[in-house]
A and B are shown apart, each in its own frame.
Chain A
Amino acid sequence: MVVSMDALRVEARHAPGDILQLWKRNMLAYRRQPDLLVFSTIQPVMFVLLFAYVFGGAIQTGPVDYIDFLLPGILAQSVLFGSTQTGVGLAVDVTSGMIDRYRTLPMARSAVVAGRILADTTRNVFVVGLMLGVGFLIGFRYHGTVAGAIAMPFVAVLFGQTFCWISAAIGTSVRRAETAQVASFVWLFPLVFVSSVFVPVETMPDWLKVVAENSPVTHTVNAMRGLALGTDFWEPLVKALAWMAGIMAVFVPLAVWRYRSIQ
């Protein structure tokens, strides 16, 4: 592929407007596909309720109420599962020929992936807000500062956005939407469960604990818990942000490269 100065000029001039167009398109699609809306709202809410009431009594979280422990974790879990939709959506566009149309238009190349991720991030904002609301209804309370309370969901959304790029790299590499879905959950499930999302990592066997303690999910969830509960959050937050920066450094170029080399 030849990248010309012309191409870069198109990119610089049209990227914001084109990203907005693609964002609009994906938001409309969300609104009109009830199954997607159910997947991205009912399921996370169901997880909150199931874990709070079914597992809540059995999981020991010390002096902290389980719902206070759980909610930051389950927010991270929801945005992670939600990120799979980026890849699924892009794979659908590849198979339907939609990507071909975009690539013959004089539009910014980055807009298809970026517009998709912006829409998925918008949905995450909505989902996180909804889950916080449900959480409050069943007893979740903030115990830290106002700044921490505002920052906590923000970290979740940022985390979800990061994983959307991994999903985008997958979605532009596979041939079918179903493959994108399966290819995401295969590693997302262990990643989410081998972490501090649902249980304190201290209860895991030693070998697994090592994995869990160094997982980006654990760092992110611990940072969110620190922010929500008013306990220490700086160390996990720095580590979480470092993980996110590292993932973005690898997967943004990878997703862009995969998108460019679709044939």
Chain B
Amino acid sequence: MEQGLNGSSPIVVVRDVHKSFGDVHALAGVSLEIDAGTVLGLLGPNGAGKTTLVRVLTTLLDPDEGSATVAGFDVRRERTRVRPLIGLAGQSAAIDDTLTGRENLEMVANLYHMGRATAASRAAELLARFDLTEAADRAARTYSGGMRRRLDLAASLVADPEVLFLDEPTTGLDPQARLELWTVIRELVATGTTVLLTTQYLEEADQLADEIVVIDHGRIIAQGTAADLKARSGGEHLSVRVSDLTALDQVREVLEAEGDGPPTVEEATGTVSVAVSNGPARLAGVVRRLDEAEVAIADIGLRQPTLDEVFLSLTGHRAESDPAEAPTGAV
């Protein structure tokens, strides 16, 4: 096995994987490695090939060309060796609505051939860990969206997988449920599980991943830490909104002085934005200057560049599937 950059060996190795569905090249030569115990964020819009890659790595789909191994086992030729080592939580929670949370987990444990007593205790343990003990004996159809995702995640962890695949784990969740799930995923990572996480949100990859791979039209277009990517797309953005539109020019001047590039002015909403590095310090500077100029601020905040902005700077085109706006981190 090859040595990764930081000295630990990669547990997932993908080599030039191609996969087409008719004329659509879902994967057009993807290669990547994930070091054991790290989190790789696979970032891209809908239809970029994220789910296809997850399906190849979880033995659900055979690649047309190329190879992939998980823990040294080929996902195509040795899939019966791969399966006991992986867990998958998909976009739609793969749970049985008519069964209770406990029954869902016990069934999965039984299908890992754990033995009845182990299955029961493992299910109880996971229910407690994911805060589902109270709802354990209710049919899963009564669960909220966040609870369903937690149960799905619990099911993917039944056999303590070496590598966990999370395919857009928070898509469709409300902000509160998304934050809860992030906490859960962080705890998992802290226990040393290797994770491949796909997402449409730069902020999500930033929050959870050690390294981010940006994928578009089945090709990897960028790779690096969240900081690298943000730097390449102009870093954080600082936005100021004013109610008094006559003040827009003053605001623009201040942001031009404090920001890293030309500010953009949106007259309709009375908002001026600019890319900044070292956002919090700049934020303080902007507030001070506007205060001195006696400009009344309606709203001010720092936000991450959206996937769209990252895409624009990396590829020169927008993320075509019109992904949902990244969650903002207003101050």
Contacts and interface: CB of A to CB of B under 8 A. Distances in A.
Interface in B75-99: 76-81, 83-84, 86-88, 90-99
B296 interface: no
A18 interface: yes
A101 B88 contact: yes
A6 B83 contact: no
Contacts, number: 83
Nearest to B98: A29
Contacts of A10: 80
A97 B96 CA distance: 10
B9 interface: no
A203 interface: no
Given A6-B80, A28-B103, A29-B99, A97 B94 contact: yes
B168 to A, nearest CB: 12
B113 interface: yes
Contacts of B110: 17, 21
Contacts of B80: 4, 6-7, 9-10, 106
A104 B88 contact: yes
Contacts of B76: 2
Contact of A28 (B55, B86, B90, B99): B99
Contacts of A98: 94-96
B103 A4 contact: no
A4 B83 CA distance: 14
A198 B79 CA distance: 51
B189 interface: no
Nearest to B91: A97
| From A21, A101, A111, residue with most partner B Cβ within 10 Å | A101
Contacts of B96: 25, 29, 98
A6 B90 CA distance: 26
Nearest to B110: A21
Nearest to A8: B80
Interface string A103-134: 11111000100000000000000000000000
Interface string B45-89: 000000000010011111000000000000011111101101110
Contacts of A17: 110, 113
B60 A32 contact: no
| From A7, A98, A100, A106, residue with most partner B Cβ within 10 Å | A106
A186 interface: no
A67 to B, nearest CB: 36
B155 interface: yes
Interface string B109-125: 01111000000000000
Q: Is the interface of B mostly helix, strand, loop or mixed?
A: loop
A9 B78 CA distance: 13
Q: Sort chain B's interface into a size bin.
A: 35 or more
B60 A106 contact: no
Contacts of B79: 4, 7
Given A21-B107, A28-B98, A107-B111, A100 B62 contact: no
B290 interface: no
A96 interface: yes
Given A2-B77, A103-B60, A104-B58, A14 B94 contact: no
A96 to B, nearest CB: 7
Nearest to A6: B80
Given A6-B78, A98-B94, A14 B88 contact: no
Nearest to B80: A6
Contacts of B88: 100-101, 104
B177 interface: no
Contacts of A29: 96, 98-99
A103 B59 CA distance: 8
Given A28-B103, A29-B98, A104-B88, A4 B61 contact: no
The 7 A-B residue pairs with the shortest CB-CB distance, nearest first, are A97-B94, A101-B94, A29-B98, A6-B80, A106-B83, A107-B111, A106-B84
26 contacts: A1-B62, A2-B62, A2-B76, A4-B80, A17-B113, A21-B107, A21-B110, A25-B99, A25-B107, A28-B98, A32-B98, A96-B97, A97-B94, A98-B95, A100-B60, A100-B88, A101-B94, A103-B59, A104-B59, A104-B60, A104-B87, A105-B108, A105-B111, A106-B84, A106-B113, A263-B60
Interface of B: 55, 58-62, 76-81, 83-84, 86-88, 90-99, 103, 107-108, 110-113, 139, 155
Interface of A: 1-2, 4, 6-7, 9-10, 14, 17-18, 21, 24-25, 28-29, 32-33, 96-98, 100-107, 111, 263
Given A10-B80, A24-B107, A100-B94, 10 more contacts: A2-B62, A2-B77, A6-B78, A96-B94, A100-B60, A104-B59, A104-B87, A106-B80, A107-B111, A263-B61
